[in-house]
A and B are shown apart, each in its own frame.
Chain A
Amino acid sequence: MSGLGIGVDLGSLLPADLPDGREAVAEGKALAAGLTREPSLFCRENGVGSEREWRERARAEGIACTCMNIGLANWPDTREAIGRIYEDALSRGVRPPDRFNLIAERRMGLPKAKRAEAPQETGPALWTEQDWHELANAAPIQPEAADNMIGGPGSVENAVDALRVGITHIGVLSQYSWRWPYWDDEVSQTMAVLKAAGLLAAFKDEGVCFDSYLEDGYPGVFHDYASYVGWSMLERHISESLIGAAYSCSWGGLTQDPVIKSAVTLALDAVNPDRVPAGFVQGDTIGNTPDFDSNMAVVSTDVLFMKMVDRRYRLGGAPIAVPVTETERIPSWQEVATVQTISRRLEEYVPMVEPSVDWGTIEAMRDRLVAGGRAFFDSALRGLAAAGIDTTDPARLLLILKRLGANRCEELFGAGEPDADFPRGRRPILQTDLVKNTMVQREELLAELGKRGGEEAIRGMKVLVSSTDVHEFASFLLASTLEAAGTDVIDFGINRDPEDIVKAVIESDADAVVVTTHNGVARSFGQRLMSELGAADAGSVPVFMGGVLNEDVDGSEIPIDVRSDLNAGGIRTPETIDRLVDALVEHRGGGVAA
């Protein structure tokens, strides 16, 4: 029976004064009346009223579309880069990209009145009407107002500005799970997103779409691709059924296996009843290494498969070719232009290769994912309703999902069969590359440790490993590598309180305690742990902490590093697992650990 099959009141997680989200949507729709929109340069030159119209035409006529990501240090540089990329394509005799995602500076997510006082970060910010006009008219490449546009507290202003200049794919719904600097008011953030989405809904019939990039939200940490599909169904339900805005589902950056990627793309299309063209399919960002030459193989394979799927199934998609340098630094315009050229060239090979691919295998995978996705979606809506959430109110649905968190959502609603051998308690229907790559990372860490050999000094040392939060892989990597180093690991699991750790230390007589933390509680947790250990007469047990050692402390606007506080309190904070092993060796040997 579902854990949420009884009357636990998840509504208690929501603020009692949370306004009705439907009212915010209605306010957004009402804004449309006073809004004048102009077509973008791309739409004018292609004779379409919206990007959706272009993509549907392209789908019907077999025209392959491409997309790029662009966001240099500032808007003027970005604007120039867009123009150069366009000209470069023409000079090479290839069709320029159809669209681009503006990777805007994070401050764009804040209300305009707050942007100037927030710290400047890297990326283009649009300060004036002229900046916005240029965005849609710098070159005949259709912009998407993407990162930091809709999702944060500045959503409404960004949506208005984007619509005015003829941008018709605006995102990013999944970024609603983000937090912006100096903004802790989730209620106003929720209302801003719903109002902006309501505004988009008012122009649905004119081709305006609400885009989401799944990996920017919870799917980016899911273990099962079926959960990806289910999450997209949830977002579509919120966007289309509850708000009325056409939902565009973009995804793809954290998947390396092109066969799996093809299956997931098809599954997402299968649960897209109105076949709203996805804004883009992101290229593989995890297959690249510092060897830029070898990354050419990654981009070529990735784009070839994305284009084959798009052509065969007439998806109307727009694949992004990832520049070979992107994992190391922001690519230059030349590097973006280069992979766009490769992308266009690959279109010649699509008809040669596509007929020979075993699409049956991919379709079978798709079907399993669709079934799993539907199960996730049904489980989520039913479970939340049974737990006291009004799932017809988009505000309540959005906020409860945010407050439950990604791990909990997948654990509760996942479609996989319960299986304690898997970190989230379910056997994935199709394991994500995130999980696979973590296993690879583990093997690499073990190999590195293997080179230094097992440490005799710490052989049999009882090390209790735990975590303050839900990051099971950090704890898993730690436990695996410490075991490989020769210690006797006592794996105490995740989500532990200091008091529980002390109880475990007493019963197990642990020789050392190692805690990973990523949820902003490092200092208070560490202090409490040391205090409880002292009270239990176990104060001589050394404590090590690692992960993200920060916390919101009094007077700080953002979480600050609390390493020095932890060190002053007697907690050691080695920066790597290797250094942790060194510190354990030194402790055992009676030396003072770093």
Chain B
Amino acid sequence: MGLVALADFGSTYTKVTLVDRARRRMVARAEAPTAIRTDVMEGYDAALAAARELAGAAAAPELELAVSSAGGGLRVAAVGLVGDLTAAAARQAALNAGARVEAVVSGRLGEAELAELRRTAPEIVLFAGGTDGGQRELVLANARALAGAGLRTHFVVACNRAAAAEVEGILAATGARVDVAANVMPRLGALAIEDARAAISRAFLAHVIGGKRMSTDARFTAMVRMPTPEAVLAATRLLAEGSGRRPGIGDVVVVDVGGATTDVHSSRVGEVVTPGIEQPLLPTPTTLRTVEGDLGLRAGAAGVLDADRPRLAAELGEDRAAGLDAAVARRGREPEWIPSGGEEADLDGLLATGCVGHALGRHCGKLLLTTRRDGSPCLSVDGPDLREARELIGTGGVFAHRGDARRILARALERRDPQSLAPIEPTIKVDADYILAAAGLLAEVDPELALELLERELRKN
């Protein structure tokens, strides 16, 4: 067992982590600009060379694996019958596969829905609808509508099992590639998205990543195993559940603050439904990814300002608060800009706290008290209960490059609403070396080593 190179083709930088399997440790990490305009393997080779030099490694890695969010990532549209049932289930399957969900349409597909799909031009359409043995006529009608919509896309069919073969035939007759997966909602109250998630992943590898033309080097498509967010989710789940021979730690939450979006990944273990508290119509998967497209440190900074203006103004004081709009606008115009320190760096810290606080609040469930039509009270939850999460981990550039990463996360936790089911007293850790994506990738071949690396490399300080 020798070196494994774990690459993450990001939209701006390509990061390479070298892991020595014999010594069971990470030996180096390096990054280089992602050469998106020429050939992304140039960036990989540069990063790999730098990492090998740091590691003093004479031999080339014997295994090279990669994740990618370059070239716009994986773009998926979700189609279902009812917005908060099969359409929501399909959307979640796509998110868990690490995709950007470009559109979610539901009901009987009409011209408005088809136009939306054409406009967003997804790389994959995840088609859902009907419980197994349930709705068939509407599902087939939607399949025929999609077939006639002129979309150039790959279909993953995860609908009523009794209609799936016919749907496949209708869509395949257009010349499109079609894969069939298990129904994302086989019966009312049951969510089963893992098969659809895996089908999306396979389609990404087989048909999407090559189509992005990011490299002419055959190594690229051979290396890439999944979209980057899927690797982060896999690492989250590995930490929570363990590797079989190595126990997990229990519930885990990871927050990934980026320039444009903030992702939250969570994994819950051994959930017990509390009697007396009603659950949502569609259950929450135990492994869950949400994406807040309006929260980020650069393109998403305007969204943070919208959500957090009074708090930001209070923190900055009147004088500095007057310049908030201009500061945020600059960030939107200059996504590559990194402040050298001082007030702008402070503002980045506050924006990051806002990203984490709001994203966590939206990801985690809330305990709701409502009144039924007969006047009786109803206690319910609308999302995952992560109050007992053992760890909250921050990942992303802001956490990798700042000394106050833990403080950002701690302050975000302090902002939780009383009704929120966000973590109460987790251990706060920082992914300073982008080990989450690398470990999630490594888990494909060596889950035990991947878990060891996570336990060792995620920092408390």
Q: 6 pairs across A/B with beta carbons < 8 Å?
A: A411-B276, A420-B273, A462-B134, A490-B188, A508-B135, A509-B134
Contact between A508 and B188, CB atoms less than 8 A apart? yes
What is the 8 Å Cβ interface bit string for chain B, positions 257-279, against chain A (1 contact, 0 not)? 00000000000000011111110
Name the distance in Å between B78's Cβ and chain A's nearest Cβ. Answer: 15
Interface residues of A in 1-45 (CB under 8 A from B): 1-3, 5-10, 12-13
Say whether B188 contacts A519, CB under 8 Å: no
Residues of B within 8 A of A449 (CB): none
Q: Is the CB of B278 within 8 A of A426?
A: no
Is A521 close to B, CB under 8 A? yes
Q: Identify which of B185, B281, B373, B421 gathers the most chain A CB atoms within 10 Å of its CB.
A: B373
Chain B binder among A211-219, A431-439, A495-503 = A495-503
Q: A3-B276, A500-B281 are in contact. Are A507 and B188 (CB under 8 A)?
A: yes
A59 at interface by CB-CB < 8 Å: no
- Judge if B222 is at the interface, Cβ distance under 8 Å: no
B275 close to A507 (CB less than 8 A): no
Interface flag for B387 (CB, 8 Å): yes
Chain A residues within 8 Å of B198, by CB: none
Chain B residues whose C-beta falls within 8 Å of the C-beta of A490 in the assembled complex: 187-188
CA–CA, A488 to B136, complex, Å? 16
Contact A1 B372 (CB under 8 A): no
Check if A572 is an interface residue, CB within 8 A of chain B: no
Interface residues of B in 134-189 (CB under 8 A from A): 134-138, 185, 187-189
CA of A410 to CA of B129, assembled, Å: 37
Q: Looking across the interface, which residue of chain A has its beta carbon closest to that of B83?
A: A503
**Chain B proximity mask over A435-465: 1 for CB below 8 Å, otherwise 0:** 0000000000000000000000000001000
Q: Are the CB atoms of A503 and B82 closer together than 8 Å?
A: yes
CA distance A492 to B187 in the complex (A): 10
B271 to chain A, nearest CB (A): 10
**A503 to B131 CA separation, bound complex (whole angstroms):** 11
B93-136, CB under 8 A of A: which get 1 and which 0?
00000000000000010000000000000000000011101111
| 7 shortest interchain CB distances as A-B pairs | A425-B275, A411-B276, A7-B418, A412-B276, A3-B274, A411-B275, A508-B134
Bound complex: CA A80 to CA B214 (Å): 101
Given the complex, which residues of A lie within 8 Å of B379, measured CB to CB? 3, 8, 408, 412
Question: Could you say which of A418, A507, A521 contacts B86, with CB atoms under 8 Å apart?
Answer: A507
Bound CA span A6–B369, Å: 12
Question: Which of the residues B134, B372, B421 comes within 8 Å of A507, measured between beta carbons?
Answer: B134
- Interface residue A405 (Cβ < 8 Å from any Cβ of B): yes
Cβ of B444 under 8 Å from chain A? no
A116 at the interface (CB under 8 A from B): no
What is the CA–CA distance of A3 and B365 in the complex, to the nearest angstrom?
Answer: 12
| Alpha-carbon distance between A413 and B277 when the two chains are bound, in angstroms | 11
B376–A405 touching, CB < 8 Å = yes
With a cutoff of 8 Å between Cβ atoms, the chain A residues found around residue B369 in the complex are: 8-10, 12-13
Give Cα distance in the complex from A152 to B325, angstroms.
Answer: 61
A60 within 8 A of B: no
Q: Is the CB of A1 within 8 A of B374?
A: no
Inter-subunit contact A509/B135 (CB<8 Å)? yes
Pick from B82, B275, B278, B385: contact of A495, CB below 8 A: B278
Q: Does A509 contact B418, Cβ atoms closer than 8 Å? A: no
Check B275 against A506 for contact (C-beta < 8 Å): no
Instruction: Knowing A412-B276, A506-B82 are in contact, say whether A525-B418 is a contact too (CB < 8 A).
Output: no
The residue from B135, B367, B372 contacting A506, defined by CB atoms under 8 A apart: B135
Contact of A469 among B185, B374, B385 (CB under 8 A): B374
Tell me the bound Cα distance from A439 to B126 in angstroms: 44
Q: B residues within 8 Å of A by Cβ?
A: 81-82, 84-86, 108, 129-131, 133-138, 185, 187-189, 272-278, 281, 367-369, 372-374, 376-379, 385, 387-388, 418-421
* Of the residues A418, A497, A507, A525, contact of B274 by C-beta under 8 Å: A418
Closest-by-CB residue of A relative to B276 is A411
List residues of chain A with CB within 8 A of the CB of B85. Answer: 503, 507
Interface size class of A (residues with CB under 8 A): 35 or more
What 0/1 pattern do residues 381 to 421 of A give for CB contact below 8 A with B?
A: 00000000000000000000001110010111110001010
Residues of A within 8 A of B129 (CB): 507
Chain B proximity mask over A463-501: 1 for CB below 8 Å, otherwise 0? 000001110000000000000000010101101010010
Q: Are A495 and B281 in touch, CB under 8 angstroms?
A: no
CB distance A1 to B376 under 8 Å?
A: no
CB-defined interface of A528-569 with B at 8 Å, one 1/0 digit per residue? 000000000100000000000000000000000000000000
A520 touches B (CB below 8 Å): yes
A495 touches B378 (CB 8 A): yes
Whole-angstrom distance between the Cβ of A526 and the nearest chain B Cβ? 12
The reply on A107 being an interface residue by CB < 8 A is: no
Q: Indicate if A524 sits at the interface (CB-CB under 8 A).
A: yes
B367 and A8: CB pair below 8 A? yes
Distance of B381 from chain A, by nearest CB (Å) = 8
Complex Cα spacing A5 to B385, Å: 12
With a CB–CB cut-off of 8 A, which chain B residues contact A500? 281
A403 contacts across to B, CB distance below 8 A = 376-377
Chain A residues in 8 Å Cβ range of B376: 403, 405, 469-470, 519
Inter-chain CA distance A403–B379, complex, in Å, is 12
A507-B377 contact in complex given A6-B418, A13-B369, A426-B275, C-beta closer than 8 Å? no
Q: Are B377 and A408 in contact (CB under 8 A)?
A: yes
Q: Contact: A521 with B137, CB < 8 Å?
A: no
Given contacts A6-B420, A490-B187, A509-B134, 10 further A-B contacts (CB under 8 A): A6-B387, A10-B369, A10-B377, A414-B275, A500-B281, A503-B84, A507-B135, A508-B131, A520-B374, A537-B108
Best-buried of A410, A413, A488, A508 by chain B (most CB within 10 Å): A508
Interface core residue of A6, A7, A470 (most chain B CB under 10 Å): A6
> How long is the Cα–Cα vector from A278 to B378 in the complex, in angstroms?
35
Asked whether A425 lies within 8 Å of B367 as measured between CB atoms, the reply is: no
A353 contacts the other chain (Cβ, under 8 Å)? no
Q: How far is the CA of A490 from the CA of B134 in the complex (A)?
A: 10
Query: Which residues in A have their C-beta under 8 angstroms from that of B278?
Result: 495
Is A424 among interface residues, defined by CB-CB distance under 8 A?
yes
- Contact check, B377 vs A506: say whether CB atoms are below 8 A apart: no
Instruction: Name A3's contact: one of B86, B277, B377 (CB within 8 Å).
Output: B277
Q: Is A504 part of the binding interface, using a Cβ–Cβ cutoff of 8 Å?
A: yes
- What's the Cα separation between A405 and B371 when bound, in Å? 13
Contacts of B275 in A (CB 8 A): 3, 411-412, 414, 418, 424-426
Does A506 lie within 8 Å of B138, measured CB to CB?
yes
Q: Are A13 and B185 in contact (CB under 8 A)?
A: no
Do the beta carbons of A8 and B374 come within 8 Å of each other? no
**Chain B contacts of A504 at CB under 8 A?**
188
CA distance A497 to B419 in the complex (A): 23
Kindly state the separation between the CA atoms of A490 and B273 in the bound complex, as whole angstroms. 22
Residues of A within 8 A of B82 (CB): 503, 506-507
If A506-B82, A507-B86 touch, whether A1 touches B387 (CB-CB below 8 Å) is yes
Contact with B along A322-343 (1 / 0, CB 8 A): 0000000000000000000000
CA distance A493 to B283 in the complex (A): 14
Q: Could you tell me the distance between the alpha carbons of A469 and B278 in the complex, rounded to whole angstroms?
A: 13
Q: Which residues of B contact A10 (CB under 8 A)?
A: 369, 377
Indicate if the CB atoms of A524 and B373 lie closer than 8 Å. Answer: yes
- Contact among B108, B276, B387 with A425 in the assembled complex (CB-CB below 8 Å): B276
Contact B367 A1 (CB under 8 A): no
With A3-B379, A9-B418, A525-B373 given, is the CB distance from A503 to B281 under 8 Å? yes
